[in-house]
């Protein structure tokens, strides 16, 4: 009851709508995390079930101080760049577990809770969403770094317009009477102000000039059970630390041949398709390539096998 649960996932949509039977929340640009406690120290898991509390000790401590002895909750860990949540800024904390190294990054994080899966040994997933959120708000004493994810009732179109005007990533629409269950659901819908999604890295090119690490990542996605579909190369959005760190990880994944089912014209080094990255882009071209892609960060919280092309 208080252990890891597969999180509920939203389905992409291009539809903008309002409705009294829906609630609308800000779409946060961070790392999904399930929290649980069973009388002892709180635990944190990524969306794939990987323990991550060692990487976010301040959040684990806040859950211990501000929550009850037994609960399971769902939320998003974020870092801010000004007023915006920034997955790129959160990258400085990726893979770190040593408290001194974590502190040295200077990156503060917050944990926004938006759902309650169990409380005091009782399963709450069968309750309507509005009831779960009411219980969630009462179950924790919210103060930084623990925050409650507020919502708006009904006025989805106005909320979406406001979200895009503020520079947010988008909005999550949730059916107010829906139950909670693991996996993708049309009871939760994501409406994005900007385009972006996860991709699997299948190779990389050599750096040119004074650049270190690599030139560009070659990325793709799964389409059925066959090899990766090629989506293009991502050559911007990296700092020096990321270039060097990713090159080390890519070298450890070296493979003798391309994992892509499509022809790739680039002269490349191939890797096993295990590394997942977040990429922003302006649009898909007619031939299925990314236009103006930009690297945003590594997604250690998503399995490569689950990466598909997102479509409304």
Q: Is 248 left (phi over 0), alpha (psi -120 to 50) or beta?
A: alpha
Query: Which of 145, 30, 168, 46 is CA-nearest to residue 88?
Result: 30
* Residue range 289-305, pLDDT digits in tens: 999 999 999 998 889 99
Q: In terms of pLDDT, which residue wins out, 198 or 167?
A: 198
The pLDDT tens digits of the residues spanning 51-102 come to 999 999 999 999 999 999 999 999 999 999 998 999 889 989 988 999 999 9
* Average pLDDT of the chain to the nearest whole number: 94
Q: Which domains does the chain have, with CATH numbers?
A: 8-192 (3.30.470.30), 196-306 (2.40.50.140)
Active site residues: 27
Cβ atoms of 76 and 33 closer than 8 Å? yes
């Amino acid at each position: 009851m208080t252990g890891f649960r597969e999180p509920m996932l939203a389905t992409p949509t291009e539809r903008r709508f309002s409705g009294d039977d829906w609630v609308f929340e800000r779409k946060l640009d961070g790392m999904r995390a399930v929290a649980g406690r069973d009388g002892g120290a709180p635990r944190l898991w990524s969306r794939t079930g990987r323990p991550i509390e060692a990487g976010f000790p301040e959040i684990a401590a806040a859950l211990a101080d501000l929550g009850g002895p037994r609960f399971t909750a769902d939320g998003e860990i974020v870092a801010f760049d000004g007023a915006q949540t920034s997955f790129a800024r959160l990258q400085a904390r990726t893979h770190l577990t040593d408290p001194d190294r974590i502190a040295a990054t200077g990156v503060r994080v917050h944990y926004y809770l938006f759902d309650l899966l169990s409380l005091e040994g009782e399963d709450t997933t069968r309750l309507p969403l509005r009831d779960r959120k009411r219980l969630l708000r009462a179950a924790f004493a919210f103060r930084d770094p623990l925050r409650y994810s507020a919502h708006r009732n009904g006025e989805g179109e106005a909320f979406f317009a406001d979200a895009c005007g503020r520079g947010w990533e988008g909005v999550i629409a949730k059916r107010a009477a829906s139950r909670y269950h693991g996996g993708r659901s049309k009871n939760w819908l994501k409406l994005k102000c900007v385009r972006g999604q996860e991709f699997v890295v299948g190779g990389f090119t050599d750096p040119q000039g004074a650049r270190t690490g690599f030139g560009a990542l070659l990325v793709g996605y799964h389409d059925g059970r066959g090899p990766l579909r090629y989506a293009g190369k991502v050559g911007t959005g990296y700092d020096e630390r990321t270039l060097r760190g990713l090159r080390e990880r890519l070298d450890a994944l070296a493979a003798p041949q391309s994992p892509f089912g499509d022809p790739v014209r680039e002269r490349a080094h191939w890797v096993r398709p295990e590394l997942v990255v977040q990429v922003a882009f302006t649009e898909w071209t007619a031939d299925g390539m990314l236009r103006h892609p930009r690297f945003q960060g590594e997604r250690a919280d998503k399995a490569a096998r689950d990466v598909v092309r997102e479509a409304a």
